[in-house]
Chains A and B, each alone.
Chain A
């Protein structure tokens, strides 16, 4: 017997645990890193990238304005779409012969027509209905408003994006609600909650776990889709960047500026998503932020003690 074998067969008294080695992962990591460094260096050294122009326009007032419009439009539309999406999803899951067809029809129309068409429609709605008459039925009181004053370019964009996005959100919310065990709702009803209370207080908070990740996708998609307002009122990040390079022809550096800002916004959104996921992961082994989960090793012995206590 060799000495090593003897050492192996001997009883190990006080072992030092060493983590598993991952040589393949390490190799892949290094390869990707090297690749990124090379790309980065060649881009950085490339005169045509005009990094000085990028730096010059990164905090340009017109660009920052665009960032604000893009951000505002995304946040506003995502919030409106989520609210409307919950309403449509609840209608779709009801047992009402009136609400279900309304919800199905909504989904059919707003998912079935191109977003750009919807945007242009809302922007040009004044061409269809030049005046809106607002009045109280059965009274003489009414007011004629020019459609163009009511539906500005921004309003048209908000309407277009929210209504379109809401159709997608409705399906995401529906999947979330369906993922919650039916018994949760029944337990809530049995303690005297109304259907609405059970949905709002018990079902939706648990559905959020399933709703949040695809909603993050939607929000990031929406962030970039807002550049479609270039076809109507404009004013967003990409439109404003286009304004600038159509004058100075520094196309690549200005697109880099836009990309940097989009990446910044997406990064912020992703961090926000992580926090939301943790907040709604309560009770599922994901601890709420800043609230570490207690280890529950003594669970079974607790249960046993309870039995012996009670018998």
Chain B
């Protein structure tokens, strides 16, 4: 297997090479290669079950790859390289690697027993050792940024879906990640709440954050993302500028997939 030898200070925070992921006999990711540039906003689209979530989960090592390599900020995430051996790691070493990516989940996954503010300061205080006062000040600034300055003391159960997702984004940002991963962040939301989340994401993209966004929001991919990847059956079928892939798709599968969207719209 060949790979580019990039130094730690690569301008590609995410480098995925021939990634294979199988659950038992089922091959879910079948040789994915993908590099994401610093500051790039990448959209991943594709039908349900094509492996989009699995790909994102591999990038922060919530799933172990079956084959191929993933490097995040130069490190093989989940492993320590010694010569030709990638030795699996755990504990603090893995946690430190994971902290470089922030993840936003489809169903928010806010800590139910903690308020919005407590959700945000949890990792800064208990992982990175920021003192509580500083962490709270930053958390309030983040809540302001996602338009929830007045809901700091609300528990997740007291927030609407859109509000929960915006707190979840603030929580991920609080870790000061190099890369933000979004897994269908608006798919669980009532239609009238989708806009508020996309607005926040657009603002983060404009601030220069490197982002990988799995989404069914074709308009968002079109307007905000620099590049679109279309996946089907665990493979990348087509990729390119949003204008090309979304407006003038070449592959049949992409055409069929986008056709269903246009028919509905």
What residues of A have a CB within 8 angstroms of the CB of B94 in the complex? 194
Pairwise interchain contact B105-A191, C-beta atoms closer than 8 A? no
What's the minimum C-beta distance from A207 to chain B, rounded to whole angstroms?
Answer: 10
Pairwise interchain contact A184-B109, C-beta atoms closer than 8 A? yes
Pairwise interchain contact A181-B196, C-beta atoms closer than 8 A? no
Pairwise interchain contact A311-B114, C-beta atoms closer than 8 A? no
Bound together, the chains give a CA A184 to CA B156 distance in angstroms of: 12
What residues of B have a CB within 8 angstroms of the CB of A280 in the complex? 113
Partner of B162, one of A195, A307, A311: A307
Bound together, the chains give a CA A296 to CA B110 distance in angstroms of: 18
Bound together, the chains give a CA A184 to CA B113 distance in angstroms of: 10
Pairwise interchain contact A310-B112, C-beta atoms closer than 8 A? no
Residue of A nearest to B98 (CB): A192
State whether A192 and B175 are in contact (beta carbons under 8 Å apart), knowing that A304-B192, A310-B196, A311-B199 are contacts in the complex.
yes
Pairwise interchain contact B91-A194, C-beta atoms closer than 8 A? yes
Give chain A interface residues in 262-298, CB to chain B under 8 Å.
280, 282-285, 294, 296
Interface presence of B242 (CB below 8 A) = no
Partner of A186, one of B109, B128, B157, B168: B109
What residues of A have a CB within 8 angstroms of the CB of B103 in the complex? 186-187, 190
Interface presence of B62 (CB below 8 A) = yes
A-B contact count (CB 8 A): 123
What residues of B have a CB within 8 angstroms of the CB of A71 in the complex? none
What's the minimum C-beta distance from A194 to chain B, rounded to whole angstroms?
Answer: 5
Interface presence of B257 (CB below 8 A) = no
Partner of B126, one of A184, A197, A284, A294: A197
Interface presence of A206 (CB below 8 A) = yes
Interface presence of B127 (CB below 8 A) = yes
What residues of B have a CB within 8 angstroms of the CB of A201 in the complex? 122, 126
What's the minimum C-beta distance from B228 to chain A, rounded to whole angstroms?
Answer: 24
Pairwise interchain contact B91-A285, C-beta atoms closer than 8 A? no
What's the minimum C-beta distance from B78 to chain A, rounded to whole angstroms?
Answer: 11
Partner of A303, one of B99, B193, B199: B193
Bound together, the chains give a CA A193 to CA B102 distance in angstroms of: 12
Residue of B nearest to A206 (CB): B113
What's the minimum C-beta distance from B174 to chain A, rounded to whole angstroms?
Answer: 8
Bound together, the chains give a CA A168 to CA B98 distance in angstroms of: 36
Bound together, the chains give a CA A206 to CA B109 distance in angstroms of: 13
The size bracket of the interface on A is 35 or more
State whether A303 and B196 are in contact (beta carbons under 8 Å apart), knowing that A183-B109, A192-B128, A283-B114 are contacts in the complex.
yes
Interface presence of B111 (CB below 8 A) = yes
Interface presence of A140 (CB below 8 A) = no
Partner of B158, one of A181, A294, A311: A294
Pairwise interchain contact A307-B193, C-beta atoms closer than 8 A? yes
What's the minimum C-beta distance from A126 to chain B, rounded to whole angstroms?
Answer: 42
Give chain B interface residues in 91-134, CB to chain A under 8 Å.
91-92, 94-96, 98-99, 101-103, 105, 107, 109-115, 122-123, 126-128
Interface presence of B243 (CB below 8 A) = no
Binding site for B on A (CB under 8 A): 181, 183-184, 186-197, 201-202, 205-206, 280, 282-285, 294, 296, 299-300, 302-304, 306-307, 309-311
Binding site for A on B (CB under 8 A): 60, 62, 90-92, 94-96, 98-99, 101-103, 105, 107, 109-115, 122-123, 126-128, 147-148, 151, 154-160, 162-163, 168, 171-172, 174-175, 192-193, 195-196, 199-200
For the complex of A and B, list the 10 residue pairs with the smallest distance between their C-beta atoms, beginning with the closest. Answer: A192-B99, A283-B155, A183-B109, A190-B103, A191-B123, A187-B109, A310-B199, A303-B160, A192-B127, A283-B113
